[in-house]
């Protein structure tokens, strides 16, 4: 007879990798709320609340603002497969893994892919998008990653959005690692379709992909000549479930995940976006100051570095995998390694949502100091903590950079 499977008790972990982030106890409790049917009027009110709060965090009035059933990659696929038909010219900015993933989906849709590339760690320059739009004839879509998780690059969008308007192209934006952690203004910047994930700056478990589309994008979907290649992600069908007054069955919604997202968005609103952005910026600056004292340098170019995903280059003497293993096994701290050509060369440290706190920054730096001292990579203890503390003590940090008070554990 086979041995019975024991209860699972996860070890305590401080999640400071590229995702998922830490989750507030209120969000975890929300997931344990008793289930309702996915067409129950009381559950439909939960969906209405989620839509309203997602519009607030996306900074949009778009009627079509929903949570796709699936992780951030489902949001990426939903946005692209609904807008692209075979033969459609699509410009994709590729300066990291997730830009390359968007390009792969364009290929699978049968679109005419036009890659605009930049070295990993650099932004996609507006003039390069302008050249692609000028040389390629009518382009249906320009797709960019706002926050490239593989490199820590923050992509400016406003100038490129204006180019898209001038050329009659839709702008599709990946905001998986930015929504709720740094400024993102869908309406003001002129973004036509934007998607994200719940497990990053919103600090909700993975499983939903916030998505918003304006009327320009919806008109393209309504005017398709061919059916969307995905039935599950066909937004013309999904829309009827999310539209007030229709609520037509499409698939069984992940009810507990929507409970969790609703509570996570309530926490965002209680803190306020401006205070939230300032918190992420301050904690990132303190972390980077501490890491610099240990000899770790930013990978992304100056002025275009994410405060939510901090990517640093390792000196040749620092061993990637052994240090990350020590952090996890001895200290219960998770950070991320490099992807693709950056494997073994960089660390990716997430300070997103609930993970972005002064306590977590100092805890990680203290653990790294101990590991570095043990290997004789630094001469004395305290240098990283001193560097971070000096930044926290700086009077220039402003009135809205304090950590928020607990919001009701």
Do 193 and 328 have their domain in common?
Answer: no
Query: Are both 106 and 251 inside the same structural domain?
Result: yes
- Among 237, 269, 301, the domain-final residue is 269
Does residue 282 share a domain with residue 253?
no
Q: In Å, how far from its chain's centre is CA 72?
A: 8
407 in any annotated domain: no
Where does a domain end: 236, 269, 302? 269
Token digits for 176? Answer: 């998986």
The tokens describing 104, both together, are 């792969």
Is residue 400 a part of any domain in this protein? no
CB-neighbour burial class of residue 380 (10 A; exposed 0-12, middle 13-18, buried 19+): exposed
**How many whole angstroms separate alpha carbon 105 and alpha carbon 100?**
9
SS3 362: helix
For β-strands 193-195 and 208-213, DSSP reports them as antiparallel
Does residue 377 lie in a domain region? yes
Same domain, 259 and 320: no
Residue 405 lies in a domain: no
Residue 404 has a pLDDT of: 38
**Residue 66 is assigned to a structural domain of this protein:** yes
| 197, 258: one domain | yes
Per residue in 106-152, pLDDT (tens digit) is 999 999 999 999 999 999 999 999 999 999 889 999 999 999 999 99
CATH number for position 54: 3.40.640.10
Closest by Cα among 204, 176, 181 to 261:
204
Which structural domain range is residue 217 located in?
25-269
pLDDT at 378: 96
Residue 47 to residue 253: CA distance in whole angstroms = 10
Return d(Cα 376, Cα 342) in angstroms, integer. Answer: 25
For residue 348, the cross-strand partners are 311, 336
Q: Specify whether 181 is located in the same domain as 49.
A: yes
What Å distances lie between residue 99 and 109, 114, 324, 356, CA to CA?
16, 12, 26, 25
Name residues whose C-beta falls within 8 Å of residue 209's C-beta, 6 or more positions apart in sequence: 67, 68, 70, 71, 72, 73, 74, 75, 76, 78, 195, 196, 197, 198
What pLDDT does 381 receive?
A: 92
**DSSP assignment letter at 178:** T
Integer Cα distance of 135 and 130 in angstroms: 9
d(CA 94, CA 107) in angstroms, rounded, equals: 14
DSSP string, 231-249: STT-HHHHHHHHSTTT---
Element (H, E) at 398: none
User: Are 166 and 294 in a shared domain?
Assistant: no
Q: Say if 9 falls within a structural domain.
A: no
Tokens 């001193």 sit on residue = 386
pLDDT given at position 246: 86
In b/e form, how buried is each residue of 185-216, taking b as 16+ CB within 10 angstroms?
ebeebbbbbbbbbbbbbbbbbbbbbbbbbbee
For the segment 385-403, what is each residue's pLDDT rounded down to a tens digit?
999 999 999 856 544 444 4
For residues 36 and 139, membership in a common domain is answered with yes
Report helix, strand or coil for 79. Answer: helix
219 with 365, same domain: the answer is no
Residue 313 in contact with residue 297, Cβ under 8 Å?
A: yes
CA 95 to the chain's CA centroid: 16
Tokens 């003590």 locate to 393
Same domain, 297 and 167: no
Q: What is the CATH number of the domain that holds 289?
A: 3.90.1150.10
Domain closes at, from 269, 298, 313: 269
Distances (CA, A) of 8 to 5, 330, 398: 9, 20, 44
In a domain, 402, yes or no: no
For residue 215, tell me if it sits in a domain: yes
Number of domains in the chain: 2
Alpha carbon distance 287, 109 (integer Å): 41
E strands along 203-334, which residues? 208-213, 297-298, 309-313, 333-334
Residues 148 and 42 in one domain: yes
pLDDT per residue of the chain (409 residues) written in tens, 0 to 9: 677 899 999 999 999 999 999 999 999 999 999 999 999 999 999 999 999 999 999 999 999 999 999 999 999 999 999 999 999 999 999 999 999 999 999 999 999 999 999 999 999 999 999 999 999 889 999 999 999 999 999 999 999 999 999 999 999 999 999 999 999 999 999 999 999 999 999 999 999 999 999 999 999 999 999 999 999 999 999 999 998 878 899 999 999 999 999 999 999 999 999 999 999 999 999 999 999 999 999 999 999 999 999 999 999 999 999 999 999 999 999 999 999 999 999 999 999 999 999 999 999 999 999 999 999 999 999 999 999 999 999 856 544 444 433 333 3
Question: Cα separation of 242 and 226, whole Å?
Answer: 23
The answer to whether residues 288 and 260 belong to one domain is no
Other Cβ atoms within 10 Å of 11 Cβ, number: 7
């Amino acid at each position: 007879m086979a041995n019975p499977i024991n209860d699972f008790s996860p070890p305590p972990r401080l999640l400071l990798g590229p995702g998922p982030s830490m989750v507030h106890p209120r969000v975890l409790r929300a997931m344990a709320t008793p289930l309702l049917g996915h067409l129950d009027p009381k559950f439909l009110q939960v969906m209405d609340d989620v839509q309203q709060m997602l519009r607030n965090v996306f900074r949009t009035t778009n009627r079509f603002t929903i949570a796709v059933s699936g992780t951030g990659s489902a949001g990426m696929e939903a946005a692209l497969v609904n807008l692209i038909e075979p033969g459609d010219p699509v410009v994709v900015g590729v300066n990291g893994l997730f830009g390359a993933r968007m390009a792969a989906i364009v290929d699978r849709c049968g679109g005419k892919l036009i890659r605009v590339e930049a070295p990993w760690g650099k932004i996609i320059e507006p003039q390069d998008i302008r050249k692609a739009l000028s040389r390629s004839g009518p382009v249906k879509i320009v797709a960019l990653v706002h926050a490239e998780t593989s490199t820590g690059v923050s992509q400016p969008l406003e100038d490129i959005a204006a180019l898209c308007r001038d050329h009659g192209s839709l702008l599709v934006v990946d905001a998986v690692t930015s929504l709720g952690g740094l400024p993102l203004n869908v309406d003001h910047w002129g973004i036509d379709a934007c998607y994200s994930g719940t497990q990053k700056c919103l600090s909700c478990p993975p499983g939903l992909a916030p998505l918003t589309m304006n009327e320009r994008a919806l008109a393209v979907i309504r005017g398709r000549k061919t059916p969307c290649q995905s039935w599950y992600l066909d937004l013309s069908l999904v829309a009827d479930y999310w539209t007030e007054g229709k609520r037509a069955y499409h698939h069984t919604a992940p009810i507990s995940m929507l409970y969790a997202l609703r509570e996570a968005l309530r926490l965002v609103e209680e803190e306020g976006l401006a205070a939230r952005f300032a918190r992420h910026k301050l904690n990132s600056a303190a972390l980077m100051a501490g890491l610099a004292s240990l000899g770790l340098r930013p990978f992304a170019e100056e002025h275009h570095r994410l405060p939510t995903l901090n990517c640093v280059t390792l000196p040749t003497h620092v061993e990637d995998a052994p240090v990350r293993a020590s952090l996890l096994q001895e200290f219960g701290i998770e950070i991320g390694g490099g992807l693709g050509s950056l494997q073994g060369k960089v660390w990716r440290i997430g300070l997103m949502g609930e993970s972005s706190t002064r306590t977590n920054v100092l805890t990680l730096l203290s653990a790294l100091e101990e590991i570095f001292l043990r290997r004789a990579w630094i001469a004395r203890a305290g240098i990283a903590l001193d560097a971070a503390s000096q930044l926290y003590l700086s009077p220039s940090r402003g009135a809205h950079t304090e950590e928020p008070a607990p919001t009701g554990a």
